Amino acid sequence: MANKATMIVDKDFVIGDIDARIYGSFIEHLGRAVYGGIYEPGHPQSDENGFREDVLELINELKVPIVRYPGGNFVSGYNWEDSVGPKSERKHRLELAWRTIETNEFGFNEFVDWAKKANTEVMMAINLGTRGMDAARNILEYSNHPSGTYWSDLRREHGYEQPHGIKTWCLGNEMDGPWQIGHKTAHEYGRLAQESAKVMKWVDPTIELVACGSSNIVMPTFPEWEATVLDHTYDHVEYLSMHQYYGNREDDTPTFLARSLEMDDFIRTLIATCDYVKAKKRSKKKMMLSFDEWNVWYHSNEVDSKMDPWSIAPPQLEDVYNHEDALLVGCMLISLLKHADRVKMACIAQLVNVIAPIMTSKMGGTWRQTIFYPYMHTSVYGRGKALVPLINSPKYDSKEITDVPYLESVAVHNEELGEVTIFAVNRHLESELLFEIDLRSFGSCTLIGHTVMECDDLKAANTEQQPDRVKPHNNGNAVVDGAKVTASLVKASWNVIRLKV
């Protein structure tokens, strides 16, 4: 066979321990993510709180460990006090980020309740756009202080005797972006983030904080923004954020599927910037990364540009994902795993309806988008240690990116279960790829299964009427001979090869 790729993995050559939070997600007060997504009172499958249990079932399939909330651009105009207390007294507000009306019917405490039911942690974002350190310390006191103060006792009055105990907090959102409410320079944001972090940790020293990095890799201030922000915040935060979305606007699939290489460059550049500041400060602390917005996003742009403003929870950013989108999402997940030593949290944006793996219809059903499957597979089977992949693969040149390997792959070793899982994408659009894996350090292996996601139509998508148009099957052809695994990867396919070692 003309196309052949090999990979050697050794159990002692470890990239890093995989933090489960790398498989996090995101719920923003945007479109139908909340209203009509996770929350729809009166729906036949909603519980007494209005939480859609059919949606929760799919979220539980994904095993989502942490969810960022409430934004996103939304948070930069968010008055958190509007969202707590009796619903009849909550204020309706113009929501300037997405030009809608926010009723605040679903608020902070409702999200905490929902997160418990979804078996996930909360990554709470604070408003550093229109507000600052005072609101930041107050919401943290409301959330995490036991009792005996104004804000903690107010939480108790609202029916929550015990603190919420939220441990992960984002210091604003995309503050480098001119589109952001309260857009700031790096120095302005860095000082505000530093002082907010300081008082928040005085309220609760056990929390972890995420400072805003650049909104994407093409921002004109990248990576100078990060260097300046970290100059101010390095001693006060644990993570620096990253955001990146990709789209196939030119219908150039070879380039589109290569975009994860740009994601790798983005991560490497940010690591280098963090380590520069570490050296500059003579610090012993290693800054970790939170890739807390990532996905494919472009399908809905034209429709969204025509939306009439000031309605309540209109459909927005409702990308319908196809097979090639799932392949790139798989490649992006592999990129996250290849940097598991520094990327400790990540959030696919978003979780339901809004550029999401899960879709719903109003008073109707739910279905899995194509991107649901690589996300689920990595979240469920990608726990343990990420191993260094020594790959030799044929390559191609696209219109924009050169030296693109047809094979994208990584291995994960779960010592507790005695398993190795190989995640692999064949980027070749016309040919199978013979894949040989050398697991020499593991001794004899046995095959648990080989799952394949393939489709002859790259543009095929799942809908409510055809929810299983594109879905994986378990009929992969992987064969094990001692410590060697051989598989023929179907063209344009996502593959999960699970082995007992």
Residue type, 70: P
Which H, E and C letters describe 381-423, residue by residue? HCCCEEECCEEECCEECCCCCCCEECEEEEEEEECCCCEEEEE
Residue 81: active-site member: no
Nearest-10 crossing angle of helices 53-62, 372-381: 60
SS3 assignment for 365-383: CEEECCCHHHHHHHHHHCC
Of 481, 497, 413, 443, the closest CA to residue 11 belongs to: 413
CA-based diameter of the chain, in Å? 72
d(CA 54, CA 365): 8
Active-site hit among 174, 226, 238, 324:
174
238 is catalytic: no
d(CA 177, CA 182): 9
Burial of 372 (0-12, 13-18, 19+ CB in 10 A): buried
Tokens of 165: 């105990």
Scanning the structure block, which residue is given the tokens 């928040």? 200
How far CA 187 is from CA of 4, 147, 148, 242, in Å, comes to 50, 36, 36, 18
Taking each helix axis from N to C terminus, what angle separates 224-233 and 186-203, rounded to the nearest 10 degrees? 30
- State the alpha helices, DSSP H only, in 63-216: 108-117, 133-144, 150-157, 186-203
Given the residues 102, 105, 121, 293, the one annotated as active site: 293
Q: How many CB atoms lie within 10 A of CB 315?
A: 16
How many Cβ atoms are within 10 Å of 229's Cβ, its own excluded?
29
Q: Which residues are catalytic?
A: 174, 293
